[in-house]
Each structure stands twice: as structure tokens, then as C-alpha cells.
A and B are shown apart, each in its own frame.
Chain A
Amino acid sequence: MSGPGWPGKAAGPTGRDAHAGPAQPGAESGAARSDARVGPGWRDRSAAPAPTGAPVELIGVSRWYGNVVAVNEVSFELGPGITGLLGPNGAGKSTLLSMISGLLQPSTGTVAIEGRPTWRDPSIYRLVGLVPERESLPAYLTGRRFVEYNARLQRVLDPQAAAVAAIEAVDLMPAADRSIGGYSKGMRQRIKVASALVHDPRILVLDEPFNGMDPRQRLQMMELFRSMSEAGRVILFSSHILEEVERLAERILVVVAGRLAASGDFREIRRLMTDRPHTFTVRSSDGRRLAAALLGRENIFGVELNERGVTARTADYGGFSRAIAVVAREVGVTLYEVVPTDESLESVFSYLVGQ
């Protein structure tokens, strides 16, 4: 499952992988507590451990606006590979990405890229390519000019060639000499990605990069990110489309109410949440008989017959996977398909949000 560039979950530089802490019940209380203890402008430098030099590292990072806590005590490290940042609107995704890319000052804690704090250090941008969420682009430039402009700001040696290569990578050469003012949403997204790639950054930070792209462009962009990941690049992207995160990300960070609710492989996270029933849909030769047999088993909370077959809820993910075949054989039912119906990010996510 994990791409070649991504060290295995356990072996990775990210030792704190795959924890699924229940989201802080009631973010307001957490916010109030932080505010009572530390006011804006307060910096906890002494308490924060020094950065280790990981490609991207957050140590106890919080950020508040007035009394509102946008990001609350978030710590993680990123290594090579593709990481998806997931969370509902207002969860603090954009704030996190802005702090990682040095455009926002953490209220407390440290954000470092290769061991160097990102705030007030423009030299880190040699390593970073940023695709902001906002659509606005200089409308008076052509796509080619805009990407070249970014290349020159990065002091790339051959900005023209670099711009062509980046625009080709996002498949926008046919529109390269048109004014950005006339670009469609998908074209704008792609030219933004080209401008972020033009200096071949080691770290790519993308805020909702697939917004406005059609499915074909989306697939192509995913292919591009995968190839960059295979080349050892660090890619962090946020998305509200769960299917995108599921398809592209090797690792997921779930942010809920400013807190890191979970991180790691999402199936892993899902399995760790043992207090939540798992749902399977089973298609078989005789759903009614299978349903009756399943009802008698322990760890089965509920069974439902519907047009897709039998939907069963269980507390034991692994146990059910093993037991279903045994039960089917006992009652003489042939299994056609066993699908964990709620293994989508959507359910992982809504579970975390609901906490």
C-alpha cells in the first residue's frame, strides 16, 4: 500500500505514527484553558524540545486568533511520501499549512523544516513549494510568464526551461501563452501547481489542490504527486474530498477542532477505534439465513437485511473477518462478497468529528 518512497509505518522517522486519540471532548474548554494560561504573544521557547531535522516537524504548535484557538498543541513529523491532511471546515487545516509554510507565526511551539524554524526565515522557501488555497493569481500575466516569474524569484538557473518543464508536468502547455485572467478554475489550479514545482522543491505543501479540477486532471495530478513521492519528495496536501485523500495519501492526519485527532494509515486508525462498531456488507446466496446465523454470534450488535445483502455491525473487526466464513459454511450459505462498508474516510472522519 505504501509507496516506495515512504518508509514503513513502524520504521519511519515518524515514531508517533498511528495514534488515534479520541478528539478532545469540547474544544471550547480546551481553548479557554489555553487562554487562561497563556496570552497571545507568549512564547514557550524553553519548554519546546529542539527540532530533530526531519523534513517537516511540528512541536507543540498552537495558534490562536484573539480568543479563538485555531490550532491546539499539534505535534507531528513528516517524511518522504504523500500525507493527506483531513478535517472539516474551520478545523485549522489552512492555519496549519500556513504555519508549515512560514506564512503564519505559531502562537506557541515550533514549526521546522529540516531543523530550521519556518517563521521569519525566507531561505526555507528554497526547499518548499506552496500551492495556496486561494484562487487569485496575477490576471495580467500569461501562465508561462507567471511560472517563469516564480522560477526567477527562486533564482532557478534557466527559468524559461524550468517553466516549460513545470507547465508540461501539469499538462498546460496548450494554454501557457494565454492570459491567466481567462483561465478556468482547473487551469488555475494547475498553473499554481506548476509555479510551486518550478524549482523542484523537496517539500510540496498544497491546500486543496484538486479543487475545480475535472476527474481526468485529478487523476493526472495524482500521478504527478505519486511520481514526486517516489522520487523522495515530501508531499502534504489538504482536501475535503475524502475519496481523494483515500486514493492518494499514504498517511493521513486528521484535524478536528484544531487538534490532531488521529494520524497514520487510515485503516490503522480505524482499527484502533475499537469502541466504535464496524459495519460490513455481505452479499451471499441466502442473506436471510446468514443474517439469522450472524445474530446468534457474540460481538455482533446488529444485522440488517437490505437490497445490497446483509449489513452487520460488529465490535471486532478482525474477528468478524475470520468468523464470517465459518458462519457461512456452518449454515451452508455461499459468500459472494464481504465489504467493510464504513472503511471510507468519511466514516472515520464523521466518527472523529462526532466525538
Chain B
Amino acid sequence: MSAGPAGGDVTASGGTGPASGGAGPASGGAAPARFGPRPFVTIVGVTARSVLSRRRTLLVLLFVAAPVLLALLARAVGADSEATPNVIAIALGDALILHVVLPIVALLFGTAVIGAEIDDGTIVYLLSKPVPRWEIVLAKLLVAEAVTLALLVPMTLATSLIVLAGAPGADLEIVAGSTVAVAVGAIVYVAIFVAMSVLTSRALVLGLAYVLIWEGFLASLFAGTRNLSVREYAVSIGGWIAGQNLADTEPIAVGFAAGLAVAVTVIAVAITIRTLGSFEVKDGG
């Protein structure tokens, strides 16, 4: 537990952290640990508590249940020659989960971890602490990603399995493809929405507009804009795993899609850390 790269271990006297102690183990007895452990786990714990204590989280659960219920309904009604189980699974995965449920759940959790604290002003207790900003952002991001994935991955698995398992002519690779697509989409979306929540106080509205207008409509219109769509990265990677097209748009090359997904995520996280590093909190009026 030596000094962190961001110098979070600066001692009260303005001296250097333990890393510069050249005296070696001989002085170890005289210099007991001055600080407790890094607060990463603490931030994760309190953030998880805050996310789970929000009433909005309960509403998200209902929302997440919708595709599963529709899958059950489709299974009960049964397939015909037009709507084979494969077609139904892809339609539920693309039209419902990837287009609607995934971005909105990612938006709600992405804006819940830092944005909610900025909104209600309690962020000041976190920012007025000697914690490097990257540590805060990574802890917050971990919670948002974990909660989003924990809800969406089992839900996607369940939805596609309900439609496909044991059905005649069912292509089970669609299960793996859809699940990976949702997982990839969740990771990238959450990173983007966390960044939005520190950049603007209207992250929820702007995020919704982005999802509906850009991702839902404009991005799939032209080949060029498709490269700037998280949904396209997700369906391209998922389609590659499923061995078939998971959406009605032309997929982008899987390597390209993966590279872009990573790049967008890393850039979003970097922007979040940078923005939080010079975040201004004006107290009171």
C-alpha cells in the first residue's frame, strides 16, 4: 500500500508519502502505518447502497421484466412459419432489449452513481476528501456497470432461452450472441452516461434524447454514422458470435466494432475523471 500514482498519500506536513522513505525497514517500528486502506471498497459499498435504496431502482426491475414476460407470451402463443423462434428471439433482442431496455437501464444506473449525488449536493462530502479522482470514478463506474450487467445479462439469457430452448429449428447461438451484445452495449452505454452525468445536470434528458434520436434513428441511417453507434457495436459483436445478423442493419466489421467500443469506453472514463478533477461545487446561494 505505497503512495498512489496521483499522490493521494501526501502527508499532513506536505512531505512525501511512504514511497520516498529511504530509511528502509530499520525505521519500520518507529513509523507505523499512518493511514487506513484506500477507500475504493468504501466508495463502492456506499454507492451500491445509494443505488439500491432509490425507488427508481424498483421501477427498473419492472422494466427489465418486460422482455421476459413477452418471451413467455410468445412461447405460449407458439410459432408459425413466418415467426419462427429464431425470428422472435432476434426481434425481442433487437427491437426491445437493444433498442429500448438496455440503453434506458444503462441511463438510469449510469446517472445514479455520480449524477444523483451532484443533483442533491451530497457529492461535496466525496469531493472534499483526499481521494484521487480516478479512484472515485472507477469505484462509481464499477457499481453502475455491475448493477446494470447483473440485471440485463440474466434477463437477456432468460428471454432468449424462453423463446428458443427446445423449440424446433431453434438456433441456440442466438442466445450467446444476444447476451454478449447486451453485455457489450451495457458496458459502453454506462461509461457514456456516467460521463454525461458529470458534464451536464440534464444528463437524464439528454441521455434519453441521445438514445431515442441518435441511437434509435439517425445512427442506423447511414453507413458513416453507424460507426458512432453503441448499438451497432453491440449487434456487430453479438452477430459475429451468433454467426448471423442480429439486427436488420448491415453489421460493421467485428474487429472494428470491438476497437471502437473499447475506445469510446476509455475516452468516456477519461473525460469523467478529468471533469471530476476540476469539478466546481458552489455551496449555498
Chain A interface residues toward B at CB < 8 A: 89-90, 94-95, 97-98, 101-105, 114-116, 119-120, 122-128, 130, 132-134, 136-138, 140-141, 149-150, 152-159, 195, 202, 207-208
> Would you list 12 pairs from A and B whose C-beta atoms are within 8 A, ordered by A residue?
A98-B280, A103-B280, A115-B14, A120-B278, A122-B132, A127-B12, A128-B128, A132-B128, A134-B283, A136-B121, A155-B130, A207-B284
**Chain A contacts of B69 at CB under 8 A?**
none
Chain A residues with CB under 8 A of B277: 120
Contacts of B46 in A (CB 8 A): 138, 141, 149
Within 8 A of A (CB), among B19-78: 33-39, 42-43, 46, 49-50, 53
Within 8 A of A (CB), among B255-285: 277-278, 280-285
Closest Cβ neighbor of A159 among chain B residues: B36
Which of B38, B49, B133, B282 contacts A122 (CB under 8 A)?
B133
Closest chain B residue to A196 by CB distance? Answer: B128
Nearest-neighbour CB distance to chain A for B202, whole angstroms, equals 19
How near does chain B come to A262, taking the closest CB pair, in angstroms? 22
Contact partner of A208 among B10, B12, B124, B284, CB < 8 A?
Answer: B284
Q: Tell me which residues across on chain A come within 8 A of B283, comparing CB atoms.
A: 94, 97-98, 103, 132-134, 207
CA distance A94 to B277 in the complex (A): 21
B14 touches A114 (CB 8 A): yes
**Contact B14–A140 (Cβ < 8 Å):** no
Residues in B whose Cβ lies below 8 Å from that of A159: 36
Q: Which residues of B contact A116 (CB under 8 A)?
A: 14
Kindly state the separation between the CA atoms of A132 and B164 in the bound complex, as whole angstroms.
Answer: 56
Cβ-based interface call for B120 (8 A): yes
**B128 adjacent to A130 (CB under 8 Å):** yes
Main secondary structure of the interface of A (DSSP, over half): loop
Contact partner of B120 (CB less than 8 A), chosen from A94, A136, A157, A195, is A136
Q: Is B200 an interface residue (CB 8 A)?
A: no
Does B122 count as interface, using CB distance less than 8 angstroms? yes
B209 in contact (CB, < 8 A): no
Main secondary structure, interface of B, reads: loop
Are A140 and B284 in contact, with the CB atoms below 8 A?
no
Check if A125 sits within 8 Å of B12, measured CB to CB: no
> B138 interface residue, CB < 8 Å from A?
no
Contact of B282 among A104, A124, A130 (CB under 8 A): A104
A154: chain B residues within 8 A (beta carbon): 129-130
Write the chain B residue with the least CB distance to A149: B46
Alpha-carbon distance between A132 and B129 when the two chains are bound, in angstroms: 13
Let me know if A126 and B49 touch, CB within 8 A. no
Assess whether A94 is in contact with B282, with CB atoms less than 8 Å apart. Answer: yes
Partner of A103, one of B50, B53, B128, B285: B128
Check B129 against A103 for contact (C-beta < 8 Å).
Answer: no
* Chain A residues with CB below 8 A from B14, complex form: 114-116
**By the criterion CB–CB under 8 Å, are B36 and A89 in contact?**
no
Cα–Cα distance between A94 and B121 once the two chains are bound (Å): 14
Contact residue among B33, B49, B120, B128 (Cβ-Cβ distance under 8 Å from A125): B128
A94 and B129 alpha carbons, distance in the complex (Å): 19
On chain B, the residues within 8 Å of A156 by CB distance are: 35-36
Residue of A nearest to B128 (CB): A130
Which chain B residue lies CB-closest to A115?
Answer: B14
- Nearest neighbor of A93 in chain B, beta-carbon distance: B284
Q: Is the CB of B124 within 8 A of A130?
A: yes
Chain A nearest CB, measured from B54 CB (Å): 9
Considering only CB atoms, which chain A residue lies closest to B1 in the complex?
A: A155
Which chain B positions have C-beta within 8 A of A102? 128
Tell me, in angstroms, the Cα distance from A95 to B283 when the chains sit together: 7
Q: Is the CB of A90 within 8 A of B285?
A: yes
- Is B18 at the interface (CB under 8 A from chain A)? no
A141 and B49 in contact, given A103-B127, A114-B14, A123-B7 (Cβ under 8 angstroms): yes
The complex places the Cα of A30 from the Cα of B230 at a distance, in Å, of 50
> What's the Cα separation between A127 and B10 when bound, in Å?
11
Cβ-defined contact, A122 with B130, below 8 A? yes
- Bound together, the chains give a CA A171 to CA B135 distance in angstroms of 33
The interface bits of chain B over 90-131 (1 if a CB of A lies within 8 angstroms of the residue's CB, else 0) are 000000000000000000000000000000111011111111
B8 within 8 A of A: yes
**B284 & A123 in contact (Cβ 8 Å cutoff):** no
The answer for the CA separation of A136 and B127 in the assembled complex, in Å, is 15
* A159 to B39 alpha-carbon distance, docked (Å): 11
Chain B residues, CB < 8 A from A97:
283
Q: In the complex, what's the smallest C-beta–C-beta distance from B126 to chain A, in angstroms?
A: 7
Given contacts A132-B121, A149-B46, A152-B42, contact A125 B129 (CB under 8 A): yes
**Nearest A residue to B12, CB-CB:** A126
Extra pairs beyond A122-B127, A132-B121 (17, CB < 8 Å): A90-B285, A94-B282, A94-B284, A94-B285, A98-B281, A98-B282, A101-B128, A123-B8, A126-B12, A134-B121, A138-B125, A140-B53, A153-B130, A153-B131, A154-B130, A156-B35, A157-B36
- Cα A157 to Cα B32 in complex, Å, equals 10
A104 to chain B, nearest CB (A): 5
